[in-house]
Chain A
């Protein structure tokens, strides 16, 4: 599904990613862990095509295509989804309008008819409920005045509606209380399938108590320094990240 080879990327003049290699197969759940500043979020941004990052070398293939040849909207239409760590507030544009525009864009890309509003509303209400958000969140401006947890659940709602092939969750667990964390984990688990893959970017092992990853990778100073199965996450919980730091070890 996703193949990252020797990826180097800068944010401004600073090299953040210094040769990342990662293979994500269909149906797999990968957790990428690491301290602040290790490059976790940059990886997510580069994969979704955010401005302000420059890929200096390396190659990323998504579903057989060169990812860097695709614009952010093309990536999204091809089923790539990023759950933002800090979702932006867009007052004046209602959540409903935004969601419908997104769903229609992706359906059209697949050659399907735009959803009629009744069908869409029904679907939107369902995912809203599944994300444990009140229905009036659909009418409000995109993320406008939402609490941190509500924003994260709004990301979850979008993911459920868009049914991506590959979802990158950027610190979706940060700032969530245990109840909200369970809602988000439940949502992600419900979407797990042999066709859909997840990359969970997280600082803490906590999320992985609820979502069992197939692989765990540790990112440190822009490189993956260790990979393993879920037991690696538990080891990190116990020992911290220090023992894996190439500069220290």
Chain B
């Protein structure tokens, strides 16, 4: 066993509640048999985990009692103006009631709680679904999440409940005296006919971070449900995150899932969508923006197991400086998944000749009556568009900023929640230019 595999096992909690012990055991059994990924491991071919091994993230996450940062500053890291969400905030994995707004009464038909608060009935519900979507055999870091699990967030929307107010789950990290590991888990269960929106929001207070976060989310969409899901990875420079979103889509359900990753030392997110019920629809969009020496890796996998489902997937990245991005998009159409409609597009812009992207769309089709398309491109900014802007007097530098922003903004401007677009736009614009004068027309 490699050092990391062994050390990680030692971090498995000793006195977990009885109802979680079974999951722990399964996680440990699975994790133990793993070998640490190397360049020869297909799923990790382009993503090196040296920083995880070297970082010795062995400390326990603590609630930063005596931090000097004021509450309002922390709140400024995650507040989305106009979203009017029910907010649950965790600081280094610990729930902060001061920063959260859950207490302002939940709508009828909604349960939002930590696993540690669950009643017997609720633990029963959690146990029934937890680990049922995130496949620990296929995703070793999901096995690690099972192994480390102490607490998590459970969100349940009852049958035919339409929740207008979005849920925002914030995972805020702050540095500690020693490097530490953090396990985060969310389980969302939507009963038949329900509708909701949820934002998973990962932020850090400063660029100096010394945590490794393993964040796994499971989304269980019942028949005729509709979920707007956002997963925003805004953790700064030194943060490490390896996690995933695993969704199961029931009959005629609709999942709109938007992903965004600002770069940091290492971010790896696996997005897995399982079409389990006929007529399910998935729209999956994502944006990644690594720069400096950052590394972002998105692995997406859409399983079409039944007929008449649709997938539309668009991921775009802008990679600058010496950064590296990896995109692996797999669509797997099983033999009986007839009448599947699936499209996957991945476009990348390299803004430096030292930047790198490894993109690989994979279509595996075992049914004959399907419509599928996929494509991946890597390019520089379009010269025709550059000339058009310049021919109106706009400087080349500003035109570059506007076009880079536009490339990403195409996916951001049409989000279901305009307040989230408005929250992200200035942040994204700032990425492309330090000089405010260059971004004043776009954000």
Contacts and interface: CB of A to CB of B under 8 A. Distances in A.
A71 B405 contact: no
A73 interface: yes
Contact of A92 (B388, B391, B395, B408): B408
Interface string A91-127: 1110001101110111001000000000000000000
Interface in B27-57: none
Interface in B395-441: 395-396, 398, 402-403, 405-410, 413, 441
A76 B396 CA distance: 12
A158 B392 CA distance: 8
A100 B392 contact: no
- Chain A interface main SS type: helix
Interface string A148-190: 0000000000100010000000000000000000000000000
A50 interface: yes
Contacts of A50: 387, 391
Nearest to A73: B390
Nearest to B412: A92
B393 A105 contact: yes
Nearest to A78: B393
A72 interface: yes
A249 interface: no
- Chain B interface main SS type: helix
B389 interface: yes
A98 B387 contact: no
B385 interface: yes
Contacts of A49: 391
Contacts of A48: 391
Given A92-B413, A141-B410, A105 B398 contact: yes
A98 B384 contact: no
A105 B405 contact: no
A76 B394 CA distance: 8
A93 B409 contact: yes
Given A84-B388, A91-B410, A93-B403, A77 B393 contact: yes
Interface string B364-389: 00000000000000000011110111
B415 to A, nearest CB: 13
A102 B402 CA distance: 12
B402 A72 contact: no
B5 interface: no
B377 to A, nearest CB: 15
A97 B395 contact: no
A92 B407 contact: yes
A248 B406 CA distance: 50
Contacts of B409: 92-93
Given A88-B384, A97-B441, A97-B442, A72 B391 contact: yes
Contact of B410 (A51, A92, A98): A92
Interface string A58-88: 0000000000000111011100001010011
Interface residues of A, number: 31
B391 to A, nearest CB: 5
A90 interface: yes
B407 A76 contact: no
A101 B394 contact: yes
A114 to B, nearest CB: 8
Contacts of B441: 97-98, 100-101, 104
A98 B383 contact: no
A58 B391 CA distance: 22
B40 to A, nearest CB: 39
B398 A101 contact: yes
A62 B395 CA distance: 20
A91 B385 CA distance: 10
B393 A98 contact: no
A75 B390 CA distance: 9
B390 to A, nearest CB: 4
Given A51-B383, A97-B441, A91 B391 contact: no
Given A77-B393, A162-B393, A72 B387 contact: yes
A141 B394 CA distance: 17
Given A92-B407, A92-B408, A162 B392 contact: yes
Contacts of A162: 392-393
Candidate in A71, A98, A104, A141 with the most chain B CB atoms within 10 angstroms: A98
Candidate in B382, B390, B410 with the most chain A CB atoms within 10 angstroms: B390
Contacts of B403: 90, 93
B397 to A, nearest CB: 10
B99 to A, nearest CB: 34
A92 B428 CA distance: 13
Contact of B393 (A91, A92, A102, A141): A102
Contacts of A109: 393
Nearest to A109: B393
Contact of A93 (B384, B393, B442): B442
Interface in B213-236: none
6 contacts: A50-B391, A71-B390, A98-B402, A101-B394, A104-B441, A158-B392
Given A102-B389, A106-B393, 20 more contacts: A50-B391, A51-B387, A73-B390, A73-B391, A73-B396, A76-B390, A76-B393, A88-B384, A90-B406, A91-B410, A92-B410, A92-B413, A97-B442, A101-B398, A101-B441, A102-B392, A104-B441, A105-B393, A105-B394, A158-B392
Interface of B: 382-385, 387-396, 398, 402-403, 405-410, 413, 441-442
